[in-house]
Amino acid sequence: MTHSSELHYSITPIDPYAHLFEVQLTIPFPLSAGQQIRLPSWIPGSYMIRDFAKNIVAIHGQCGGQPISLTKVDKQTWSLPACADPVTLTYQVYAWDLSVRSAHLDQNHAYFNGTSVFVELVGHDQLPCLVDIHNATISEAAHWKVGTSLATAGAEPYGFGRYRAENYAELIDHPVEIADFSLVSFDACGVPHDFVLTGLHNADLERLAQDLKLICEYQINLFGEPAPFDRYVFITWAVGNGYGGLEHRASTSLICNRDDLPCVNERGKVSDGYKTLLGLCSHEYFHSWNVKRIQPDIPYDLSRENHTPLLWAFEGITSYYDDLTLVRTGLISPQEYLELVGKAITRVLRNPGRFQQSTAASSFDTWTKFYQQGENAANAIVSYYTKGALIALGLDLTLRRLSNSQVTLDQLMQTLWVEHGKTGKPVAEFDIQKHCRQLLESQGSDAVQQLDDYLTSAIYGTGDLPFAELLAPLGVSFHTRAATSATDSGGKPAAGTGDGIRLDLGISTTADSTGAKVMRVLHGSSAHRAGVSAGDTLIAINRIKVDNSNLETLLGRYQAGDQVDVTAFRRDELMQFKVTLEAGSDDTAYLQIEDEGKLAGWLN
């Protein structure tokens, strides 16, 4: 490929106060009439149409120094006229979405994903790309630097200047953070890793690097050296209240609560918040193999939805390994790990939607259901993340049981890596079952059939997984109980015996200026049978004022079977409901260790 065939992009935070990037694309060769450019409508790893082109404020072009007209073809595509000379396109992008999915710019930092800012020259997506990254001119940007996994092409490490990508797909798979960020670096299996942290914080970065090194080295060794990248970057924003992550081929973008970061006076313990952060880092890092390189058998088309029934595996298996990595590296104890599993089971058990939708269907419909959840989501869908992780747990335990622990999920992941990740061969819908059968062949046809039965029921069925049966051979007992409060997330036995039974209307509420606003109503609950609906604002129970802070206290004065009068507003209309109170169902799970010896082979 000659230098003249490289596409040349440049990007500048042209006006941080107005949240505007300016992008230029120089096309160094003549164009025939009808050549098109377009911006993706979604970003890989986040399965929702986001229409990033809506943020392009202005776009114009020149050919040989003369203006050319661009014709809008659809919501994200422009057509160019025939041009005999190189073409330069200039456009501005509005960037005010502080999320891992898009772009954000102000006087504190600049961040972008390529899917939000770099248009594709349609039909030329295999051309190499050069990118010049410029700094803002405002005084607040005087000490900004560049954090990205893009390969340099003249720029100094963490510096402004020229970067490169082998093609458009690579160009849009390396997010960029520009700020006066904190930086800690470490090596994992000989591979340099950076943790780039933007935002106000007092984090113990040394401890964070030590703990991340354990996670990264464990996962590299699980799949086998060498790592599939030469360098890796964790791009992280510390905020007051936020959580999220998005995987890329050699980096991840993360948002965390600043209180979840470790601080020096917490050494020797892992807080719940820090546990959450480490699990998030572990999850996104595992994606470097599972989904970024071990990929589903669908053509990636960033202009429309791409459907697959396999997200239960790509997200669910990853979700299983994120916390499993923490216990296997000694960052948390086996009991802490089982508490996390109990909480995951609880989240699934509390949603009647698990009886309506399989994880395969949840995967396929993620674009319109999981990623666009409304007030009825709990009654209609199941999470392929959470139930998918539990299916993966069950698959691991089933493989161990049927093979006397000679075959495990680790071996399946290694097989997927060798057969698909390294070769680029995509994973078809039933390839996982095929590889499982091959791994179990030596155990006989009955073992293979039992494994097939488990996977078919778990992936395509809507029944509950047999948790007690799955866990018992590993020395773990499975228990359920009723929730003790609205904030009881499970994972542990109830604290104390309590003075009575908690009553549950089957609703979730949030504070409202006039009362307690109903966010959802579970099908089959007492509120559902009485006619209460999502969006109603409860204002009184038996003529006593109710709000979000005293709802549980008021209910606690009654017994199961009592009927109460509930007064609410639906829009601007007063509603009256007669609700027969019921005890909460046993939808809160926890696990207990019965035989540590049996447990060790799984969690060590």
* Residue 277: both structure tokens together: 């952060």
Supply the DSSP string of 270-339, one letter for each residue.
--HHHHHHHHHHHHHHHTTTBTTTB-BSS---TTS----S-HHHHTHHHHHHHHHHHHHTTSS-HHHHHH
Instruction: Establish how many alpha carbons lie within 13 A of residue 188's alpha carbon, considering only the half-sphere containing its beta carbon.
Output: 27
Q: What fold characterizes domain 1-179?
A: Immunoglobulin-like (2.60.40)
Domains 181-288 and 507-580 share a fold: no
Q: Cα separation of 324 and 343, whole Å?
A: 14
Dist. CA 509–CA 546, nearest whole Å: 12
What is residue 93's predicted lDDT score, i.e. its pLDDT? Answer: 99
Residue 7: the pLDDT is 98
The CA-atom distances, in angstroms, between 76 and each of 45, 55, 106, 122 are 20, 10, 25, 12
Q: Which two tokens stand for residue 388?
A: 């998918």
Residue among 175, 172, 116 at smallest CA distance from 149: 175
Among 213, 256, 212, smallest CA distance to 238 is for 256
- Four-residue CA torsion sign, 275, 279, 285, 286: positive
Could you tell me which CATH number the domain at 311-480+597-603 has? 1.10.390.10
At the top level of CATH, which class does the domain 181-288 belong to?
mainly alpha
Classify residue 307 as exposed, middle or buried by CB count within 10 Å of its CB (0-12, 13-18, 19+).
Answer: middle
The domain 507-580: what is its CATH number? 2.30.42.10
Peptide bond into 226 cis (omega under 30): yes
Show the low-confidence residues of the chain (pLDDT under 70). Answer: 1-4, 497-500
* Cα separation, 362 vs 316, whole angstroms: 12
Query: How many other C-beta atoms are found inside a 10 Å radius of the C-beta of residue 574?
Result: 9
Kindly give the residue spans of alpha helices, DSSP state H, lying in 481-576. Answer: 526-530, 551-555
| Strand arrangement of the beta sheet that strand 251-257 belongs to | 182-188, 191-198, 232-239, 251-257, 244-247
In whole angstroms, give the CA distance from residue 187 to residue 211.
12
501 — phi, psi (to 5°)?
-95, 130
User: Is the pTM of the predicted complex or chain greater than 0.75?
Assistant: yes
Q: Going by C-beta distance under 8 Å and a sequence separation of 6 or more, which residues neighbour residue 104? A: 19, 95, 96, 97, 98, 110, 111, 112
Q: What is the pLDDT of residue 268?
A: 78
- DSSP-assigned beta bridge partners for residue 185: 194
Eight-state DSSP code of residue 80: -
Residue 144 CA to residue 75 CA, distance in Å, equals: 34
Q: Domain extents for the chain?
A: 1-179, 181-288, 311-480+597-603, 507-580
What are the distances in angstroms from CA 94 to CA 19, 140, 210, 302?
A: 6, 19, 38, 20
